[in-house]
Amino acid sequence: MTTTTDSTSSTTEATTEKNIDWFHGVLQRQDADEILQKHGSFLLRASEVNGKMSMILSVRHDSKLHNFVVNCDGNGENFWFEGYHKEKTIEQLVHWHMTNGIPVTKVSGVKLRTPIGKPDWIIDHDSVVFIKKLGEGAFGEVSLAECEIGGQKVEAAVKTMRCQMTRETRAAFMKEARLMRKYQHPHIVRIIDGSLLSYLRKNKTKTTLSERLRFCIESADGLAYLEKKQCLHRDIAARNCLLSLTDQIKISDFGLSDDKRTEMQDDTLGKVPVKWLAPEVMQDKLYSLKSDVWAFGVLMWEIYADGADPYPGMTNLQTRAKIFCDDYRMPFPEITPPMIAEIALKSCWTKSPAERATMKSVLLKLKDFSAPASDVSFKERK
pLDDT tens by residue, 187-199: 655 544 567 898 8
184 Cβ contact list (under 8 Å, min separation 6): none
Q: What pLDDT, on a 0 to 100 scale, did the predictor assign at position 368?
A: 92
3-state secondary structure of 53: strand
Give the DSSP H/E element, type plus range, for residue 340: helix 338-343
What is the total residue count of the chain? 382
**How many CB atoms are closer than 10 A to CB 221?**
23
Alpha-carbon distance 382 to 277, whole Å? 31
Shared domain check, 356 and 250: yes
Pick from 191-205, 337-351, 365-379: least confident: 365-379
Q: What is the CATH number of the domain that holds 83?
A: 3.30.505.10
Evaluate whether residue 45 is within a structural domain: yes
What is the pLDDT averaged over residues 269-278?
79
Q: Which of 69, 91, 115 is the last residue of a domain?
A: 115
Q: What pLDDT, on a 0 to 100 scale, did the predictor assign at position 18?
A: 61
Shared domain check, 209 and 98: no
Contact 137, 197 (CB under 8 A): no
C-alpha separations of 137 from 143, 173, 206, 327, 370 in Å: 11, 11, 27, 30, 31
Instruction: Check residue 355 and report its DSSP letter.
Output: G
152 Cβ contact list (under 8 Å, min separation 6): none
Q: What is the CATH number of the domain that holds 283?
A: 1.10.510.10
Contact 74, 61 (CB under 8 A): no
Average pLDDT of the chain? 82
Evaluate whether residue 378 is within a structural domain: no
Top mean pLDDT of 8-12, 94-98, 162-166 is at 94-98
- Catalytically active residues, by annotation: 235
Residue 180 pLDDT exceeds 90: no
Shared domain check, 365 and 264: yes
Q: What pLDDT, on a 0 to 100 scale, did the predictor assign at position 262?
A: 78
Shared domain check, 239 and 90: no
Residue 382 pLDDT exceeds 60: no
Evaluate whether residue 93 is within a structural domain: yes
Higher pLDDT: 257 or 317? It is: 317
- Residue 271: give the domain boundaries: 195-370
Instruction: Check residue 302 and report its DSSP letter.
Output: H
Q: Tell me the torsion sign for CA atoms 302, 304, 308, 314.
A: negative
Residue 164, by phi and psi: left (phi above 0), alpha (psi -120 to 50) or beta?
beta
Shared domain check, 243 and 345: yes
State what percent of residues in the chain have pLDDT above 70: 76
Shared domain check, 366 and 224: yes
Q: Give tens-digit pLDDT for 110-150.
A: 999 999 988 766 666 667 788 877 766 555 677 777 777 66
Cα–Cα nearest to 257, from 282, 283, 222, 284: 222
pTM above 0.85, yes or no: no
Alpha-carbon distance 23 to 45, whole Å? 6
Q: Which of 75, 93, 115 is the last residue of a domain?
A: 115
Shared domain check, 226 and 364: yes
C-alpha separations of 13 from 67, 181, 323 in Å: 18, 24, 51
Q: What pLDDT, on a 0 to 100 scale, did the predictor assign at position 14?
A: 39
Label residue 164 by pLDDT band (50, 70, 90).
Answer: low
Q: Give tens-digit pLDDT for 210-269.
A: 999 999 999 999 999 999 989 899 889 999 888 877 888 988 877 677 777 778 888 765
Q: How many domains does the chain have?
A: 2
Q: Binding site annotation covers 159?
A: yes
C-alpha separations of 158 from 6, 131, 142, 147, 161 in Å: 10, 10, 6, 9, 10
State what percent of residues in the chain have pLDDT above 90: 49
Evaluate whether residue 186 is within a structural domain: no
**How many CB atoms are closer than 10 A to CB 256?**
20
Q: What pLDDT, on a 0 to 100 scale, did the predictor assign at position 124?
A: 67
Shared domain check, 101 and 207: no
Q: What pLDDT, on a 0 to 100 scale, did the predictor assign at position 12?
A: 40
Q: Tell me the torsion sign for CA atoms 371, 373, 374, 380.
A: negative
Evaluate whether residue 229 is within a structural domain: yes
Contact 41, 60 (CB under 8 A): yes
What is the pLDDT averaged over residues 174-191?
60
Q: Give tens-digit pLDDT for 48-77.
A: 877 788 899 999 999 999 999 999 987 778
Residue 37 pLDDT exceeds 60: yes
Shared domain check, 104 and 210: no
What is the pLDDT averaged over residues 3-18?
43
Q: Give tens-digit pLDDT for 288-315.
A: 999 999 999 999 999 999 999 999 999 9
Q: What pLDDT, on a 0 to 100 scale, did the predictor assign at position 120?
A: 66
Residue 379 pLDDT exceeds 70: no
Q: What pLDDT, on a 0 to 100 scale, did the predictor assign at position 265?
A: 83
342 Cβ contact list (under 8 Å, min separation 6): none
Q: What pLDDT, on a 0 to 100 scale, did the predictor assign at position 150?
A: 62
Shared domain check, 249 and 364: yes
Evaluate whether residue 156 is within a structural domain: no
Helices then strands, counting H and E runs in the chain, come out as 10, 18
Evaluate whether residue 142 is within a structural domain: no
What is the pLDDT averaged over residues 40-46?
94
Alpha-carbon distance 158 to 160, whole Å? 7
Q: Which of 115, 142, 172 is the last residue of a domain?
A: 115
Evaluate whether residue 130 is within a structural domain: no
Alpha-carbon distance 216 to 341, whole Å? 12
C-alpha separations of 302 from 178, 226, 252, 350 in Å: 29, 21, 16, 18
3-state secondary structure of 231: strand
Q: What pLDDT, on a 0 to 100 scale, did the predictor assign at position 7?
A: 37
